[in-house]
């Protein structure tokens, strides 16, 4: 299963707290993950910011909305406890608890109204409609759309550059990723070997303890197995163990299967993956704005 949305988590949280005990938030997150049978991958899946697990974030938003509806209370920092109203709602045996249920309570309506006056556009607020998105989900979706568009533009632009510019682009990318030492050293190494199957040699680390052989092809046609075999043969001729084949197009199924069968380690990077790497490492793109998303620093407020 995928990580449940925050509205789906509301009823399980209330049921978890129905024992009238105080539950630490971190313990509640683990208990809910166990109850829902989440895999280790689903538990560790992070928000796009990489700062918090997605499941923890959604449990947190569910708890926040339940508190504003008067169904949960926080007697102490990082602790949740069910209220009498929460018990009364559970006694109705509701099939689910979502925003429509929370709107039965005036406190939640007031909270929703405050949020609406504090956002530039009501449609940007997940509370303005029957949305299953948290604010982080909304930001993530918008960011994902913008990123896909930029990556598509990147790939289209790269496919039109000259072969020599493409080789230099590969240099910039590899250096940005931490290979090749500095840009000058990398520039001397790549494109100078003269080997028909190798476009360049670049240091794997800044000390030059190992090297990676590179083939960079600005192609429109799919790269087939013969080209990869030729590259692999060139690597063997140099007693090389590692190689990277980069293209603006893609690879045939036979080519992909071939690199799995040989002992030499060859990484295949196709056009879409190249665009992602360029985006991630700031090659060929520039920032037009930064949104600094903040959350409460619970360690700062700790009095223990």
The rounded distance, in Å, linking the Cα atoms of 256 and 240 is 19
The rounded distance, in Å, linking the Cα atoms of 158 and 149 is 14
The rounded distance, in Å, linking the Cα atoms of 199 and 169 is 13
pLDDT of 195: 53
The rounded distance, in Å, linking the Cα atoms of 161 and 176 is 20
Provide the greatest CA pair distance for the chain.
Answer: 79
β-partners of residue 267 are 244
Give the residue ranges of the chain where pLDDT is below 70: 49, 115-131, 181-197, 206-208, 297-304
**Which run of H or of E encompasses 231?**
helix 225-237
The rounded distance, in Å, linking the Cα atoms of 12 and 35 is 9
β-partners of residue 243 are 213, 266
What is the token pair recorded at 214? 């590179």
pLDDT of 100: 93
Mean predicted lDDT score pLDDT of the chain: 84
Residues in the chain: 304
pLDDT of 125: 45
CB 23 within 8 A of CB 75: no
Ranges assigned E (strand) in the chain: 23-24, 72-73, 79-82, 200-203, 211-217, 242-247, 265-269
pLDDT of 121: 40
- The model's pLDDT over 91-131, given as tens digits with 9 standing for 90+, comes to 999 999 999 999 999 999 988 887 655 544 433 444 444 56
The rounded distance, in Å, linking the Cα atoms of 261 and 242 is 14
The domains of the chain are located at: 6-133, 157-280
3-state secondary structure of 36: helix
Q: ∠ CA 286-291-296 to the nearest 5 degrees?
A: 145
- The model's pLDDT over 132-176, given as tens digits with 9 standing for 90+, comes to 778 788 888 788 878 888 899 899 899 888 888 888 898 889 888
Other CB atoms within 10 Å distance of the CB of residue 8: 16
Other CB atoms within 10 Å distance of the CB of residue 106: 10
Ranges assigned E (strand) in 15-112: 23-24, 72-73, 79-82
pLDDT of 182: 63
CB 184 within 8 A of CB 203: no
* Range 6-133 has CATH code 1.10.10: yes
The rounded distance, in Å, linking the Cα atoms of 123 and 275 is 32
DSSP at 47? P
CB 23 within 8 A of CB 16: yes
What is the token pair recorded at 57? 């974030």
pLDDT of 129: 47
Say which CATH topology domain 157-280 has. Trna Endonuclease; Chain: A, domain 1 (3.40.1350)
Strand order in the sheet with 72-73: 23-24, 79-82, 72-73
What is the token pair recorded at 249? 């197009």
259 phi and psi angles, rounded to 5 deg: -70, -20
Q: What contacts 134, CB < 8 A, 6 or more positions away?
A: 5, 6, 57, 58, 61, 126
DSSP at 221? S
3-state secondary structure of 76: coil
6-133 and 157-280 agree in CATH topology: no
């Amino acid at each position: 299963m995928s990580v449940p949305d925050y509205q789906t988590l509301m009823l399980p949280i209330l049921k978890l707290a129905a024992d009238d005990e105080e539950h630490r938030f971190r313990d509640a997150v683990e208990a809910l993950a166990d109850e829902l049978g989440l895999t280790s991958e689903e538990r560790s899946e992070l928000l796009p910011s990489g700062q918090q697990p997605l499941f923890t974030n959604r449990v947190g938003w569910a708890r926040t909305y339940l508190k504003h509806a008067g169904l949960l209370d926080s007697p102490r920092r990082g602790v949740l406890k069910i209220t009498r109203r929460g018990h009364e709602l559970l006694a109705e045996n509701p099939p689910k608890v979502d925003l429509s249920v929370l709107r039965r309570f005036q406190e939640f309506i007031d909270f929703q109204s405050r949020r609406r006056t504090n956002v530039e556009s009501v449609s940007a607020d997940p509370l303005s409609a029957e949305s299953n998105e948290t604010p982080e989900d909304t930001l993530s979706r918008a960011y994902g759309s913008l990123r896909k568009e930029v990556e598509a533009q990147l790939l289209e632009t790269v496919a039109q550059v000259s072969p020599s510019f493409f080789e230099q682009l590969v240099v910039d990318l590899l250096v940005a990723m931490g290979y090749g030492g500095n840009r000058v050293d990398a520039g001397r190494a790549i494109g100078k070997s003269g080997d028909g199957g190798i476009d360049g040699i670049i240091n794997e680390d800044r000390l030059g303890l190992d090297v990676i052989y590179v083939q960079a092809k600005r192609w429109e046609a799919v790269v087939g197995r013969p080209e990869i075999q030729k590259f692999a043969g060139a690597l063997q001729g140099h007693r090389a163990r590692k190689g990277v084949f980069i293209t603006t197009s893609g690879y045939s199924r036979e080519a992909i299967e071939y690199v799995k069968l040989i002992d030499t380690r060859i990484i295949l990077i196709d056009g879409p993956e190249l665009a992602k790497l360029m985006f991630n490492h700031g090659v060929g793109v520039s920032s037009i704005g930064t949104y600094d998303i903040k959350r409460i620093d619970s360690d700062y407020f700790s009095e223990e």
